[in-house]
């Protein structure tokens, strides 16, 4: 279940999202591990899903508690997609939280610079207890707009050269991002690559890129088309 409300705090509008679902202790641990890894990398949920090769934001849906199960397979896929060898991050639960599923409430509060994620678990007597709280930078807050423009320009130049000279086979999102990172001294994030790839797939002239969505596993690749 999902809903949002806006509150006025200190003369500023604070947007808060509320997401509710029943989760098990393993579900909560997997969710925490995934969010901790994503935030430590400085990635958005859609960037993480993109690096995993997903055609939709599966990580964002998990963080909004919109999927019924948090599987270890998704976590391992995320670890591999982000180029990590392992993951860490477990929560020690109160002993009165036994096996089974618990009503959980994710509260996401967006401020100007920071987004706060707090997951509450309702215990056996109906009291909400904080399971974890994580903070990340609000992507809407861009401190240095000129720097963002320079990063996008660098990615455009790299991918234009690649498209014209070296794009002989379909490429995965992580391959494209790694290539861009290697060829620029700018701190390029997946969001910059995603934006430029969107521009290149929507071109009316050729050569351009075609976004391929696999029927198996919902994986995506980018292919060069010349006509």
pLDDT in tens, 181-216: 999 988 999 999 999 999 999 999 999 999 998 766
- By the 8 A CB rule, do 52 and 77 touch? yes
Average pLDDT over residues 115-120: 96
As a whole number of angstroms, the distance between CA 101 and CA 82 comes to: 29
DSSP 153-195: HHHHHHHHHHHHHT--S-B-HHHHHHHHHHT-SS---HHHHHH
> Per-residue pLDDT for 86 more than 50?
yes
What are the structural domains, with CATH classification, of the chain? 2-137 (no CATH), 145-225 (1.10.10)
> Per-residue pLDDT for 12 more than 90?
no
User: Which pLDDT does position 209 carry in this prediction?
Assistant: 96
Average pLDDT over residues 4-28: 74
User: Which pLDDT does position 38 carry in this prediction?
Assistant: 94
> Per-residue pLDDT for 9 more than 60?
no
As a whole number of angstroms, the distance between CA 72 and CA 65 comes to: 15
Of 12-26, 32-46, 118-132, 136-150, which range is least confident? Answer: 12-26
219 or 225, higher pLDDT: 225
> Per-residue pLDDT for 85 more than 90?
no
As a whole number of angstroms, the distance between CA 212 and CA 172 comes to: 10
């Amino acid at each position: 279940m999902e809903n949002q409300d806006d509150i006025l705090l200190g003369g500023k509008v604070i947007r808060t999202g509320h997401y509710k679902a029943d989760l098990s202790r393993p579900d909560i641990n997997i969710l925490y591990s995934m969010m901790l890894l994503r935030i430590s990398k400085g990635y958005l949920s859609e960037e993480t899903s993109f690096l995993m090769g997903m055609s939709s934001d599966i990580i964002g849906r998990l963080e909004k508690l919109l999927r019924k199960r948090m599987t270890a397979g998704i976590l391992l896929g995320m670890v591999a997609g982000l180029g990590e060898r392992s993951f860490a991050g477990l929560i020690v639960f109160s002993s009165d939280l036994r096996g089974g599923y618990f009503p959980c409430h994710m509260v996401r509060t967006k401020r100007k610079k920071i987004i706060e994620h707090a997951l509450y678990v309702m215990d056996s007597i109906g009291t909400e207890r904080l399971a974890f709280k994580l903070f990340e930078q609000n992507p809407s807050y861009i401190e240095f707009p000129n720097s963002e423009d320079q990063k996008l320009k660098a990615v455009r130049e790299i991918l234009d050269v690649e498209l014209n000279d070296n794009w002989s086979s379909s490429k995965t999102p992580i391959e494209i991002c790694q290539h861009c990172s290697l060829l620029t001294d700018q701190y390029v994030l997946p969001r910059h690559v995603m934006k430029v790839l969107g521009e290149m797939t929507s071109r009316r002239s050729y050569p351009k890129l075609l976004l391929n969505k696999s029927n198996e596993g919902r994986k995506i690749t980018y292919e060069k088309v010349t006509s």
